[in-house]
Amino acid sequence: MVLGTVAVTGAAGNIGSVVRAALRHEATRLVLLDRVPLRQEAANEEVHTVDLRDAVAVESALSGVDCVLHLGGLPDEAPLGELLEANVLGTHNVLEAARCNGIERVVLASSNRVTGFYPTGHLTGPQEPVRPDGLYGVSKVAVEALGQLYADKFGLSVICLRIGSFEQTPTEPRHLATWLSPRDTIGYVKAALTAPTTTRFTTVYAVSANARRFWELPAQAELDYTPVDDAETRAVHIPGAGTPADPSAPQAGPYATPEFTLKHLRP
């Protein structure tokens, strides 16, 4: 599978580093963006130190790119102003750069936390109303809305991946439902980057094939990837894995508590 020229924002992050290593063998050219300086590690890599809030720099770095995987931004709860700048404005600049550079496909990293207040006993699909569990979740709702806007108004092909708990291995009871393995991460990313551009806009949960998951796996018509890993195979090593989950508790677990957000609000 030849992917052409692929740009990855947030390439220095946990997911970005894993994806970078996988894509460098399949992309003709890999354009890597992060506000943290990166070193070129392969002949087909091109690195850029870019703050995604700088629209001009983003547009310049994405010149000549075929598709974009947008992972950059703040990855967790923070004051709303910071999230709006890093996640919402940053995403707007990436989408606008794609429009101006004629890039057809943009894959946006959304989050399972846009629906964190659904109960664990409810199998949640991407078409259901959003129920964010905090300010970070709100910022990712806005990211998805921007993707929908650029698909509807400007004809970009946008795929939003609602990423689960990305970990090398599951380590806590919640991960038995939410784990996203590195192998499945790469599978979802490749499928999203190579999906037909006739897919104008879609949102899918990027989660491993966990027996206890509470999100719907994508249909083949939405994204041609079937996850292969299951957190249940590691359950014996996870303390508390044998205790049944409360079906009425929020899927977000501790992220849904007031305390998780209150520390980021004014006293």
Active-site residues: which are they? 136
AA letter at 17: S
CB 183 within 8 A of CB 191: no
CB 160 within 8 A of CB 203: yes
Instruction: Measure Cα distances from 130 to 84, 115, 219, 220, 244 in Å.
Output: 18, 5, 20, 23, 26
Tracing tokens 């949960």 back to the chain, one arrives at 205
Relative orientation angle of helices 14-23 and 182-194, to the nearest 10 degrees: 60
**Cβ neighbours of 253 (radius 10 Å):** 20
CA distance 105 to 197: 7
CA distance 161 to 164: 9
Which H/E stretch holds residue 59? helix 55-61
